[in-house]
Amino acid sequence: LLPAFPLHPASPLPPCPARSYVHPQAPPAELRLVSELMRYVRLIPFLEDVVTSVEAKADVWTTTDEFLSMGAGDGEEHALLLCNYLLHRGDEAYVVVGRSALEERAFFVLMRETGAAEGTLFHAVRGTSYPLVDSRCPLSAVGMVFNASNVWANVQPADVPSKMSWNLADSLAWRRLFIDGSADADQVSRWTRSVQLSTPHYTRAAEEDKNDLEREVERAIRLHIEERRGSRPTDWNNNMRRILKTILVRLEVDAREGVTSKPDELRAELAQTLQSYAVVGFPLNVTWTDIKQVIEAVDATDIHNSSGKELKFALTVHVVAYPNSIYSVWVYVAALTSLR
C-alpha cells in the first residue's frame, strides 16, 4: 500500500522513512479549531503526483512547506498536513493508509485522546470525518498506520476500521517496522530527523486580490449564462445580490465551524422575496483553481435553461481568502419567476 521509504523530489539522499514526514507544525494563527484546520486543508486543490525525474512508478512525497508553496497536492500531502496540525494542537494523531471504495490507496488521519480506544478518522481531501465505530466510513481496509515514532503494519484478521483493534501496542494485531536497538533502527538513524519545518511559510492574500477575483468570477458567469441562453432574454435582478451574499457568508462560516447549515434558517433570508417570486437557486462552493472549473459547476445546474413568467436571474459571488492564496469560492445563482 505504501513504501516505507517514499521519495522526496529534491533530495539527493535515499528515500526518507514515512515517519520523518510527521512532525508538529504550526497552522496559520487564525486557525485553531479542528474544524478550521479541516476546512483549510480540504480547500487546498487535489493534484496527483507528477513524476519527472524518477521512475514513473515511484511515489513522490513533498514536504508540507512545498505542498503549501505549490498550492496543490495529493492524498498523502493533505493527510500529513492535517496530522501535523493536530499534533501541534497537542492531539494524538496518526496517518492511516488503506483502501476505500473510491481510492485504491487512501490516506486518512486518525485523531484520538491519548490512551483512548475510540477516535475519529478524517479524510483530509474531502473534509469528512467518521468515528472509528462508524460502519459508513468509506475506508474499507486498513493496511498501516504511522506517526513520527514508528510505522505499524496491520497483521490482524480484520481490516475494516469499525471491526478491528486500534491498540497499537497489541503485537498480535500490529507489527512495528522499527524496533528500538535493532539493526533496522540503527540503519535508518540518519533519516530519523524530520524533513518538515516547525512552522511552514505562510503568505497573506491582499484584499484587493480577493475583490478582483470576486468581480472576475461574477462577470464570467453572467456572460456565460447569457451566451448559453442564446436568443432568449436574460434579465438580472440585482436587488437580490445583498440577500444572496448574506447566505453565502453564512455558509462559509458554517463550513469553517464544521456545522451543517439549516435550510429553514437560510430560507428565512429569502422570506420577503418568496412573497413575490418562486425561487430556484443553487449555492455552489469550489476551491479556486481556474474559471473553467467554476463555469462547469454552474453549467451542471442547468439554471440557464430556466423558463417562466417574468423570468429573472440573480447572481452573487463570495470569495474567502485563506493563507497561501487558497480561495474558497461561493456562487449563488437563482432563477426567479413571478407569482403574480
Q: What is the DSSP code string of 140-176?
A: EEEEEEE-SS-EEEE-SS--SGGGS---TT-TTTEEE
* Closest by Cα among 189, 191, 181, 200 to 324: 200
Q: Confidence band (pLDDT; 50, 70, 90) for 282?
A: confident
Q: Confidence band (pLDDT; 50, 70, 90) for 183?
A: very low
What stretch of H or E contains 336?
A: strand 326-338
Residue with cell 430556466: 306
Q: Confidence band (pLDDT; 50, 70, 90) for 54?
A: very low
Higher pLDDT, 101 or 179: 101
Q: What percent of the chain clears pLDDT 90, i.e. is strictly above it? A: 72
Residue with cell 403574480: 340
Give how far the C-alpha of residue 87 lies from the chain's centroid of Cα atoms, to the nearest Å.
18
36: left (phi over 0), alpha (psi -120 to 50) or beta: alpha
Report the alpha-carbon distance of residue 103 to residue 95 in Å, rounded: 16
The residues that bridge with 95 in the sheet, in sequence order, are 109, 146
Phi and psi at residue 223, to the nearest 5°: -60, -40
Give Cα separations from 214 to 14, 184, 320, 329 (angstroms): 45, 54, 9, 8
Q: Is the pLDDT at 81 greater than 60, yes or no?
A: yes
Report the alpha-carbon distance of residue 14 to residue 6 in Å, rounded: 9
pLDDT of residue 164: 94
Q: Confidence band (pLDDT; 50, 70, 90) for 217?
A: very high
* Closest by Cα among 160, 91, 88 to 130: 160
Distance linking the first and last C-alpha atoms of the chain: 62
Q: Is the pLDDT at 33 greater than 70, yes or no?
A: yes
DSSP string, 275-332: TTEEEEEEEEEEE-S-HHHHHHHHHHTTGGG---TT-EEEEEEEEEEETTTEEEEEEE
pLDDT of residue 145: 95
The residues that bridge with 221 in the sheet, in sequence order, are none
Sign of the CA dihedral running 238, 243, 244, 246: positive
pTM, two decimals, is: 0.89
